């Protein structure tokens, strides 16, 4: 009898995978690896809190609003505390920008080489109805000298400067998906062992798909180009799938193919989603998986941020679908350019000789 069959391998843990991949970074000395472990630890703790939310009084509204003017849920506050505490105690991060805090958060780790932008709990209003929610994070190398607090310049870097990004989805299973610029890998949490195990190696998103994800409740204020693209999806008999948790919608489309759209509307003229800790990290992931991300007219990661909580329109998913959306959006731009173009100067009549 083959004794190995009595104890089959359980797989590659996240910690072991990170250690093996550290050689991808010629400048790395272990700080980034430790930082990713710190995020994974906080994710485990938040996962525990979410699983207990129906048993203890941590669900529902907290009674205040965040910097976005959105009602904070109790779990928003808890997740924010957990991640900030883990990043501060880990020692690798000098500064954090979080969806839940107005100002940059200085960790006191002035020797830290990294800056983190994070949405601690995306879609938290869905927690009371047991819908998948998530965490989104983005990691940058600081550009200011070490030995002092992080600066605005450290936090306001374009997405092309990200060294790592990822998300955690808390659903029927809990998964951590991340990239360091060398492909995308997903890890599923095994509760009894308390470890993330590699379950989705080298994720590649389909080039196209038949799913479109958009809140059609705002359709009356879509631009003509966005409205035309949505109609195109219907004409092609695509399936409409919109959960209302960005991480959940993105995760499904990443694996199955499709497009997620949150455009500018009359209510949110600059879009609703935040560039630094929602759009950029998911854009980095989707590009590494072979997809595309855009604000409708340009690559998401090339947008130069001006403020930490900057918003932007968001079109992300399968490359062919995003490019199709951009082609419809271009009609808006052309129409606008036409309206703004000066009237041609009438030619003077040429006197008859």
The model's pLDDT over 137-180, given as tens digits with 9 standing for 90+, comes to 999 999 999 999 999 999 999 999 999 999 999 988 999 999 99
How far apart CA 184 and CA 177 sit, in angstroms, is 7
Average pLDDT of the segment spanning 214-222? 93
Known binding residues for substrate: 122-125, 215, 242, 272
What per-residue confidence (pLDDT) applies to 63? 47
Tokens of 146: 């070490």
How far apart CA 277 and CA 137 sit, in angstroms, is 6
What per-residue confidence (pLDDT) applies to 294? 98
Known binding residues: 99, 119, 121-125, 215, 242, 272, 278
Domain spans in the chain, listed from the N-terminal domain onward: 11-200, 211-337
Residue 267 scores a pLDDT above 60: yes
What per-residue confidence (pLDDT) applies to 129? 82
Under the banding of pLDDT at 50, 70 and 90, the label for residue 66 is low
Residue 62: CA count within 13 A, CB half-sphere: 17
Under 8 Å between Cβ of 112 and 106? no
Torsion sign over Cα 226, 228, 234, 235 = negative
CATH 3.40.50.2000 fits 211-337, yes or no: no
CATH class of the region 11-200: alpha beta
What per-residue confidence (pLDDT) applies to 22? 77
Q: 11-200 and 211-337: same fold?
A: no
Mean pLDDT of the chain: 88
Known binding residues for Mg(2+): 99, 119, 121-122, 278
Under the banding of pLDDT at 50, 70 and 90, the label for residue 51 is confident
Average pLDDT of the segment spanning 41-52? 92
Average pLDDT of the segment spanning 308-332? 96
């Amino acid at each position: 009898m083959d004794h190995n069959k009595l104890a089959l391998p359980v797989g590659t843990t996240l910690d072991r995978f990170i250690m093996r991949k550290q050689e991808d970074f010629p400048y790395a000395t272990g700080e980034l690896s430790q930082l990713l472990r710190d995020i994974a630890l906080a994710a485990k703790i938040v996962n525990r809190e979410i699983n207990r939310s129906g048993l203890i009084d941590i669900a529902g509204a907290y009674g205040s609003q965040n910097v976005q003017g959105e009602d904070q849920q109790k779990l928003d506050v808890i997740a924010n505390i957990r991640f900030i505490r883990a990043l501060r105690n880990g020692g690798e991060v000098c500064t954090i920008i979080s969806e839940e805090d107005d100002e940059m958060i200085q960790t006191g780790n002035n020797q830290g080489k990294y800056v983190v932008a994070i949405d601690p709990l995306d879609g938290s209003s869905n927690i009371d109805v047991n819908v998948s929610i998530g965490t989104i994070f983005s990691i940058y190398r600081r550009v200011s000298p070490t030995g002092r607090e992080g600066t605005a310049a450290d936090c306001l870097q374009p997405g092309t400067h990200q060294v790592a990004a990822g998300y955690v989805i808390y659903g029927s299973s809990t998964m951590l998906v991340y990239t360091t610029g060398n492909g995308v890998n997903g890890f599923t949490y095994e509760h009894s062992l308390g470890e993330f195990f590699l379950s989705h190696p080298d994720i590649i998103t389909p080039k196209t798909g038949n799913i479109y994800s958009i809140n059609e409740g705002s359709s009356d204020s879509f631009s003509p180009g966005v409205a035309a693209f949505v109609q195109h999806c219907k004409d092609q008999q695509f399936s409409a799938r919109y959960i209302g948790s960005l991480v959940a919608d993105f995760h499904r489309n990443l694996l199955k193919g499709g497009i997620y759209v949150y455009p500018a509307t009359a209510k949110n003229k600059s879009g609703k989603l935040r560039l630094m800790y929602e759009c950029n990290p998911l854009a980095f992931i989707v590009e590494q998986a072979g997809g595309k991300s855009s604000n409708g007219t340009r690559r998401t990661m090339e947008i130069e941020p001006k403020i930490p909580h900057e918003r932007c329109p968001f079109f992300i998913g399968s490359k062919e679908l995003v490019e199709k959306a951009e082609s419809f959006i271009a009609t808006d731009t052309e129409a606008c350019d036409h309206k703004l173009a000066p009237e041609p100067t009438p030619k003077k009549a040429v006197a008859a000789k």
